[in-house]
Structure 1
Amino acid sequence: MRGLRWRLILNGKSTGNQEVREAVHALREQGVTLEVRVTWEDGDAERYVAEAIEHGVDTIIAAGGDGTLSEVAETLAHRDETADALPSLGLVPLGTANDFATAAGIPDEPLQALQMILAQAARPLDLLRIDAEGDLWWCANVASGGFGTEVTVETDEGLKKVLGGLAYLVTGISRLGRIEPIRARLRTPDFSWEGGFIALGIGNGRQAGGGQVLCPEALVDDGLLDVTVIPELSGEVASTLAALVRGGKQGALEQVAERTRAPWVEIDADEPMTLNLDGEPVKARRFRIDCVASRLRMHLPLDSALLA
């Protein structure tokens, strides 16, 4: 334990979190050399990751929500070093929704999350690499599109602070009368689909947008993407809502969802569409998403549902 060097990259919105301060102090008392860096603007995570690697840090910990996790993961992923040569990755969930942490079973409390990182060896972690008409992006959790993506993008930051994940539901309800399907074609090595969809999930993780479980069986270490398409719904909105109430949201979606698992997927939409990459909206007509197997190493609970 002594001799470990950690670097915690903290989302600037959480600088006043007393539990994080106490957790950092507790780990230092246990002999971990743990330094904190705070992100305030674009490019901070990139600088802090480069600095940590230069300083020989063993583990880089993203302290924030899904966006902070993906930002740190992306800055590690596009470097030239192999996964074994890079610092391992940890997560202290401090965001509004914490979709990746929830699905992975990472503790909510900062001290428990840090203790888990200390106790569990890092495991291989796949990442999504997204080519949006020549622009390259990385994503650790879920690339989502359609109605849920519009809800996530449109949800007010102030509403998130007050209501947490419930904010996405409130925003979603306000949009129910104006769900416009997105017309697109999807292709994988052995699957093709064409039509209008209201929701799309391409998962390394399982859920996005404050608890929408789009890829219920996704694993982060199987080298494959879990692809879920929810086609446009026929009939009146009222009957759709009745199905949601009777079977629960997930039960209703299961009846209409198209699913496959593949190492890559290509999307060709009739009009520019938005993919939400863990809070980062990217707009294009054509996307190529690849699963880059074992790109990083991450500390996860031994019994995490996301591990094969």
Structure 2
Amino acid sequence: MPLRVALLVNPTAGGGRGQRLTAAVRDRLRAGGAHVDVLVGDDAAGAAELARQAVAGGVDALAALGGDGLVNLAATAVLGTGVPLAVVPAGTGNDAARMLGLADPLSAVDVVLHGRRRALDVGRVGGRVFVTVLSSGFDARVTERANALTWPRGAARYPLAVLAELRVFRPVPYDVVIDGVPLHLPAMLVAVGNSRSYGGGMLVCPDADPTDGLLDVTVLTPLPTARFLRLFPSVYRGRHVGRPEVRTFRARTVRLEAPAMTAYADGEPVGPLPVEVDVLPGALTVLAPQGPAPAGG
């Protein structure tokens, strides 16, 4: 019996890249012997409903062709069902794909056909889950700016959004509770990572492991603009950790509270703080490349 694949597509992902790739991805899956149903919702709620219906209908895999937001919808649909999630990157950041060691969308199709099953953790916040990172503070404001930019395409919009937000952002008083231990501290940002990166490869939680049953927390305390600009490039290599302005924790539960701050998870808005975050160990089944997992994946 052929592999039954539901291909969930965000046609607007990556500035229309999702739409441009749909036929090639579908045809490559079919050439590999799969039966493919292409699912395109009118909006996020419609896409989520189509994904739920496909999983309930007994597909063998749900493949998400898009960015991290679509991966989030697909992960929610398969969670706890045993149906594996496959990721075909076509978005702006593609950090969920990066976590799995996937870069090229057509190569990712081969993982849908021949990949191995892996169990990954997910974060949970406010009744929803996230696969990569939940952020609040400066980085969440940057995400808002980056999402509003029409140029440039792809991950290049994030550094521009950083520079724009840096002109106006001021440190925020946070109340953070790490596994029941309260902390009160001013901060530029607080990131809670199930995996290592967000924003198109920024390793904000460079030691995060989505199989360890824990969340990594990175806190950037206030620092002058010039020092921030020197520190920022090191985030892409994960070398900010260990700097005196950066504090890190590892936890099973995290509570964040700060005035007038919004939390983002997988690049999408969650809602205003306060938020309670915990981890669901091994709750998500994914299709991953054969061979050893990439670092942090």
> TM-score scaled to structure 1, two decimals?
0.86
Query: Could you tell me whether the CA contact under 8 Å between 1:220 and 1:306 is conserved in 2?
Result: no
Please, which of 207, 210, 226 is the counterpart of residue 220 of structure 1? Answer: 210
Residue 144 of structure 2 corresponds to: 153
Cα deviation for residue 31 of structure 1 reads: 1.4
Cα distance, 1:156 vs. partner?
4.9
Q: Is the 8 A contact 2:10 2:70 kept in 1?
A: yes
Within the candidate set 26, 33, 39, 1:24 is matched to 26
TM-superposition CA deviations, 1:206-242 (whole Å, max 9, x none): 1112332211011112111111111112xx4234434
Deviation (angstroms), 1:259: 1.0
**2:100 maps to what in 1?**
104
> Structure 1's 187 and 243: CA in aligned 2 closer, same or farther, altered over 3 A?
closer
Q: Judging changes above 3 Å, is the alpha-carbon distance between structure 1 residues 16 and 293 closer, same or farther for their aligned structure 2 residues?
A: closer
Root-mean-square deviation over aligned CA pairs: 2.4
Q: Separation in 1 of the partners of 2:73 and 2:158?
A: 22
- 1:179 maps to which residue? 169
- Give the deviation of 1:148 after TM superposition: 1.4
Give 3-state SS (helix, strand or coil) of 1:208's partner. coil
Q: Counterparts of 2:159 and 2:279 in 1: how far apart (Å)?
A: 30
- The Cα shift of 1:159 comes to 2.8
Q: Where do 1:1-308 residues align within 5 Å?
A: 2-13=1-12, 14=16, 17-77=19-79, 83=80, 85-108=81-104, 110-131=105-126, 136-160=127-151, 162-189=152-179, 191-233=181-223, 236-242=224-230, 250-252=238-240, 254-255=242-243, 256-269=245-258, 271-301=259-289, 302-305=291-294
Q: Which 5+ residue runs of structure 1 have no aligned equivalent?
A: 78-82
What SS does the corresponding residue of 1:39 show, helix, strand or coil?
Answer: coil
Q: How many residues align?
A: 292
1:285: Cα distance to partner?
A: 3.1
Whether contact under 8 Å (1:191, 1:260) holds in the other structure is: no
Q: State the distance in 2 between where 1:191 and 1:211 align.
A: 30
Separation in 1 of the partners of 2:219 and 2:145? 21
1:256-292 deviation digits (Å, cap 9, x = unpaired)? 22111111111232x1311111122133332110101
Instruction: Calculate percent identity across the aligned residue pairs.
Output: 28
Counterpart amino acid of 1:138? V
- One-letter amino acid of the structure 2 residue matched with residue 204 of structure 1: N
Name 1:80's counterpart in structure 2: none
**Matched residues in 1 for 2:62 and 2:294: separation?**
23
Q: Distance in 2 between matches of 1:105 and 1:249?
A: 16
**Any gaps of 5 or more consecutive residues in structure 2?**
none
Could you say what secondary structure the match of 1:86 adopts?
coil
What residue identity is the alignment partner of 1:168? Answer: Y
Change (3 A) 1:243 1:282: closer
User: Could you tell me which amino acid in structure 1 is paired with residue 62 of structure 2?
Assistant: I
Alpha-carbon distance between aligned partners in 1 of 2:235 and 2:49, rounded to the nearest angstrom = 48
Task: State the one-letter code of the partner of 2:145.
Answer: E
